[in-house]
Copies of this chain bind each other. A is one copy, B any other.
Amino acid sequence: MKNKQNQRKVRLAGMGKALAGRQLCFDGHTRYRLAPGETLLDLAEKAAEEALSRSHMEISQMDCIVCAMATPLQGIPCNAALIHERMAKGLNIPAMDINTTCTSFLSALDMMSYLVAAGRYSRVLILSGDTASAALNPGQKESYELFSDAAAAAVLTKAEDSDPSAVLYGCQRTWSEGAHDTEIRGGAGLLPALALTEDNREDYYFDMKGIKILRLCTRVLPDFVEECLKEADVRREDIRLTIPHQASKALGVIMPRLGFEKGTYIDRVQQYGNMVSASVPYALCEAIEESRIHRGDLILLMGTAAGLTVNFLLLRF
C-alpha cells in the first residue's frame, strides 16, 4: 500500500442479512420476493438487529444511521428516517441516505469511513436493501427473473491501534452514457406517480437494457480495475476474497476477463440473483458466516451500478 496516509482505521464490527419470505424458481435459479404483508422495513430491521447483536451492541449505542439503498421507500422522507422510526424512535441519532444505486453500500462504507476515522461518529449502522419486486415488469423476462428482495446491514466502528482492520483504498467512477440503461423512469420528479395513465404504464416499471450495460462495462471496467489495483498498490493474488455486485449471470464471464479466476470471487447469482444494493453486503455477511473471511484478511468489494457507476473498495477485514 503506498497510500498509507489515506487508510482509514475502521472496523466492520458485525453484519446481518435477511431474505424476503416468498421463494420462486426460474430455470434452476432461486429468487426471493416479498411475502404478503412484508415490507423492506421488516427485512432491513431484521438484518440490522442481527448486525447489532453480532457486534454486541444496542441501537442506542449507534451515533449515526445510514441507509445505503438504491430506491426510495417513500417520496419523502428519506429511507433512514423511516428505519429510524422502526428501530430508534425516541432517540435522536442522525439519519441520512447515501445513494449510488446498486453500489450504495460500498459508497456509504467508503464515505462514512472518513467520518469515523476523523472522530465525527464512532458507531455507524449502515443498512442496504431494495425490493425490486415493487417495479418489476412481467413482460421483461430478463429482469423479471433476475432480482431478489433482500436486506443487509453492518455496524462500522473505529478500529483500535492494535486492530489491523481498515479501509485501505476506495475509488468510484460514473459514466453517464449508461444513465438510461438501467432505470425506473416514473414515480418521481420527472414523471410523477400522479401522471400514471394506461398509456405510459411501461415507464413506471424497472427497465434494463442488458446488452448495452454489458457493452459499456466491457469498455470501461478493465482499465478501471487495473488503475485501482495500481493506485492501491495491491496484486490480485494478495486479495483473500473478492465480493463483486451480483449483477447477472454475466458475472461468471466478466470476472475472469478482469483477471479474477473462478474461486477467488463470490458468485451466488444462481442462489439469489441480483439483490440490488443488498447484493454485496449480503454476500459479504454470508462469507463471514461461512468463515471464508477472517480478521486481518484483505478483501475487495467491487461493483457496477445504474449510472453507470462503478466502485472499488479494498478493506483489511
Contacts and interface: CB of A to CB of B under 8 A. Distances in A.
Interface of A: 5-6, 39-41, 65, 70-78, 80-82, 84-85, 88-90, 92-101, 107, 111, 114-115, 117-120, 130-131, 134-135, 170, 172-177, 179-180, 182-194, 196, 201, 204-206, 220, 305-309
Contacts of A98: 96-99
A118 B114 contact: yes
A194 B76 contact: no
A94 B192 contact: no
A203 to B, nearest CB: 9
B77 A183 contact: yes
B107 A174 contact: no
A92 B173 contact: yes
With a 10 A CB-CB cut-off, give which of A41, A85, A205 has the most chain B CB atoms: A85
Contacts of A134: 188-189, 192, 194
A314 to B, nearest CB: 14
A190 B251 CA distance: 30
The 10 closest A-B pairs by CB, nearest first: A75-B184, A187-B193, A77-B306, A85-B176, A94-B172, A193-B193, A72-B188, A81-B307, A84-B176, A95-B174
Given A6-B119, A187-B188, A99 B97 contact: yes
Number of copies of this chain that the complex holds = 2
6 contacts: A74-B190, A77-B306, A78-B307, A88-B176, A96-B172, A187-B192
A134 to B, nearest CB: 4
B119 A174 contact: no
B307 A77 contact: yes
B131 A73 contact: no
A226 to B, nearest CB: 14
Majority DSSP secondary structure for residues of A touching B: mixed
Given A77-B309, A89-B177, 4 more contacts: A74-B188, A81-B307, A99-B99, A111-B111
Contacts of A75: 71-72, 135, 183-188, 204, 206
Contacts of A183: 74-77
B71 A189 contact: yes
Given A89-B177, A114-B120, A196-B194, A100 B74 contact: no
With a 10 A CB-CB cut-off, give which of A80, A179, A185 has the most chain B CB atoms: A179
A135 B77 contact: no
With a 10 A CB-CB cut-off, give which of A77, A81, A92 has the most chain B CB atoms: A77
Contact of A84 (B179, B180, B187, B196): B179
A36 B306 CA distance: 29
Nearest to A201: B194
A176 B192 CA distance: 26
A185 B135 contact: no
A220 B90 CA distance: 11
Contacts of A93: 173-174
A6 to B, nearest CB: 7
Contacts of A76: 70-71, 101, 182-184, 206, 306
